[in-house]
Structure formats: structure tokens, C-alpha cells
Amino acid sequence: MKTAELRKRLADLLTEQRSLMAGSDVLTEEQVTQYDELTEKIEAAQATLERAEALEAREAKLSESKRAVPAEEPTTELRGAPRPEAGARKDDPAEFRSLGEFLYTVARRPSDARLQDLYKSQENREQTFGTDAKGGFAIPDQFISTLMQVTPEEAVVLPRATVIPAGTPPDALVTMPVLNQTDDENMFGGVETAWIGEGDVKPATDFNLLEVELQPKELAAHIPMTDKLLRNWAAASTVAETQLRRALIGAQEAAFIGGSGSGRPQGFQHSSSGATIEVNRETADTVEYEDVVKMYESTFGTGLIWIGTRRVKGQLMRMTDGEGRLIWQPDARAGVAGTVLGIPFIEYHRGPQLGARGDLSLVDLSYYLIKQGSGPFVAFGYSGDDFVRNKQRIKIFTNVDGKPWLTAPLEHENGDEASPFVILDVPASS
């Protein structure tokens, strides 16, 4: 069908829909159904017209290039210059115009050609998650940066950790070497040093390494969404880019901090983390100056931050040193954290209650490893009476893992232990 015929078809549908609206101020239930059906036809006709126009534009451009460059003459293309990928559609108006349109298409038109093109570009997708509605659709690259954007204001660990990209295959096990800091080794993993005189024999040294394994684990977030909201692409985009994104970030942060490591990342506060030093507080249900000093004495790192809840922050803001001076130093600039002993304090509202183990942490998160995996992907389905209530459930899922980059605290030559992960525990007598 030519573009002129497609435009006429689209105009006829719009006229029919306008006539339906002109009949009365309030539509009957039957008219609402007709209106929604016309909306789907209009959207389909619009998408077909855009594809046809894009095809005509490509053909016209190809014809112009053939006339402009004789076949016998060499082109000015630089040898070795990158070529556009086959099937690239950067300027194609038939691409998804928003994340909301993509979600609507997945939910209502899973056979859409654009989704099929998307599948063909995901080489490893089918091997891990199945196909079509069974496994979900990979979210297009142009929307991932917005959906998965994380800022230091929204997250504590991820913006400050050492992040390993997904790679190929994205969910494969990754083994990272770490220094062996067990009792039989020194803080440099068993490396011994010696001053060598001229002509003396150089002694042999051993470099002992342990390993940290990371394998991305699936994390999913879902929310019910009405059919009417799905048809409103802009509103659907807002929901996905805010509520679902915040839920995924919140779940990841909780695991990076306190996760058990079983089916989820291992948090630096969890008891399974051998790298963490626990400092017993002086008095139950409070944080005192002596607690802060002992934590500072046990840590190392150049990017240290304090992490605690608002109640812990309140304790620190009222805390004084031995000379009666406040140790909290506020910062007048918006968005800049106050400091304790010159170290920024980051408020984390999901942390343990005041007085509980881990209510205050002193950490250098560059020593925390995060391995990104495949995703994010999106799928739709029904639960309970969703169908009769004209609702579907949107599910966004991704894969990630995380662990401290140490297996034990570092031991200095003088016997002192230090770690980039120090948390405040309950009193020793508790």
C-alpha cells in the first residue's frame, strides 16, 4: 500500500473517531469500547505509515547517492573507518518514541516488527531467558540510561563501588583475585621485602592470592498498571522511570549493605562478610564519641563515608568531643553532606534502628565489587482478577551481584587490624 493510501486510511479513522466524540458530551460504555478500538487502529495505521515513509526516504536517499557517486570512481570513505551496524535505525521514525510506547507494545502487540528486530539484536538473550512473553523483552538501549540511572542522592553503594560491566556472556561467573590476609600472611598477601646488597642473592618471595566469585542474580520489580494508563504512553513512562526504578535501586542497595549472599549479593554489614570489623559500642541504644573514635581507629581507605539513619545523624549532630566541641560540621551548600571527623555522613533511611548492630558504618565503598549482568528486561502478565479489572502487571527484571573485595581485615606489621568496612555493634556484654 502506498503512503498516500495509508494517509487516507489514517485520516478516515481520525474522522470516524472525531464523529464518535461529537455525538454527546458523555460516551456510553459501548462508545468507549468503540473509541478504544479506533485508538488501536489509529496507532497501528500511524506506525505503518511511519515505516512506509521511512522506507521511501531510504530509497530516495539511495537513489541520490547512486546519481552523486559514479560506480567507477572511488569514494571518499576512510579505510578502516567504522561503518554503521547493519539494520541500524537511529533516525528511523518507526523506532519507539518513548519507554511508555515500548511498554504498551510489549503488553498489547508482542508481534510488532520492532520487537522482533530488537530480539534479533540480542544475541545472548534467548539462551538465558527464553523468547517472547515467556522470557520478556530486552529494554531498548536508548531507555536504559534513564530507567537505570543512579545518583549519589538516591543510592549509597552503587555510585561509589567498583562496578564490573556485564560483558559477554553477561551473567557468567567472574572470579576476582584478592590478597590473602589470613593469620599466616602479612597485609601484602605474603610478599616479603628485603634490602639487597650489591652482588647478593635475591631471596624468593611468594604472592598469595584468594578469590572472590561473583555471578549475577535476578532481581525483579512489578506493579499493576491499568489498560488506560498503558494507552497513555507519557504517564506509563513516568511510572516506569520513577516507581520501578526506585524500587530496583532500593532493593539493590539493601542487598549491597546487608544481603546474605544466598540468591542475592553479599552485603558488607552481613555476618557472612569476613572482611568487616565490628566495634562494640560503649552504651546500649546510643552512639557516643568513644564509639566514633574506635571506629575511626579500625578503618582505612581514601574515600571513607559514614552511613546511618536520621536518628543516628541526630546523635552525631549533638555529640561533643572531650573538650565539649561539637564534632558535627554542617555544610552550607545544598546537597553536600555534613562531616564527622572530616568524613562525610550519608543518610540511609532503610538502615538498622538506633542501637542495633550496623546502625552506623564507616566504609570505603571502592573496596566493594558489583558485577552487572543482563537486563533490564520487561514482561507483562495477569494475576488474580487483573483481567476483569482491565489491569496487567508490568515486571522489570535485571541481574546483578556484589561482594566486599576482601576476605578478611588487613593486619598491619604491628598486629593492628584495619578494614574498609567497619560497623558499630551492640555492647560487648549484650
283: alpha, beta or left, given left = phi > 0 and alpha = psi -120 to 50? beta
Rounded Cα–Cα distance for residues 402 and 252 (Å): 9
Residue 195 lies in a domain: no
Q: Between the ranges 31-35, 113-117, 246-250, where is the mean pLDDT highest?
A: 246-250
Q: Is the pLDDT at 190 greater than 60, yes or no?
A: no
Q: Classify the C-alpha dihedral 118-119-125-131 as positive or negative.
A: positive
Residue 45 lies in a domain: no
Q: Is the pLDDT at 59 greater than 90, yes or no?
A: no
Task: Please give the residue range of the domain that contains residue 364.
Answer: 277-369+408-425
Residue 16 lies in a domain: no
Domain count within the chain: 1
Comparing 191 with 114, the larger pLDDT belongs to: 114
Q: Is the pLDDT at 129 greater than 70, yes or no?
A: no
Nearest alpha carbon to residue 357 among 423, 293, 425: 425
Q: Is the pLDDT at 123 greater than 70, yes or no?
A: no
Residue 388 lies in a domain: no
CATH classification of the domain holding 307: 3.30.2320
Whole-number pLDDT of residue 404: 93
Average pLDDT value for residue range 124-135? 40
Whole-number pLDDT of residue 375: 78
Whole-number pLDDT of residue 73: 38
Residue 348 lies in a domain: yes
Name residue 277's beta-bridge partners.
422
pLDDT digits (tens, 9 = 90+) for 376-394: 887 777 666 666 667 777 7
Comparing 8 with 418, the larger pLDDT belongs to: 418
Number of neighbours of residue 13 by Cβ within 10 angstroms: 18
Q: Is the pLDDT at 239 greater than 80, yes or no?
A: no
Residue 358 lies in a domain: yes
Question: Under a CB-based contact definition with an 8 Å cutoff, are residues 266 and 275 in contact?
Answer: no
Rounded Cα–Cα distance for residues 309 and 323 (Å): 26
Whole-number pLDDT of residue 113: 77
- Of 78-82, 180-184, 355-359, the poorest mean pLDDT is in 78-82
Mean pLDDT, the chain, integer: 76
Which runs of consecutive H residues, i.e. helices, occur in 216-279?
227-231, 233-239, 245-258
Residue 287 lies in a domain: yes
pLDDT digits (tens, 9 = 90+) for 154-169: 789 999 999 988 877 7
Q: Classify the C-alpha dihedral 306-308-310-315 as positive or negative.
A: negative
pTM of the predicted model, to two decimals? 0.65
Residue 363 lies in a domain: yes
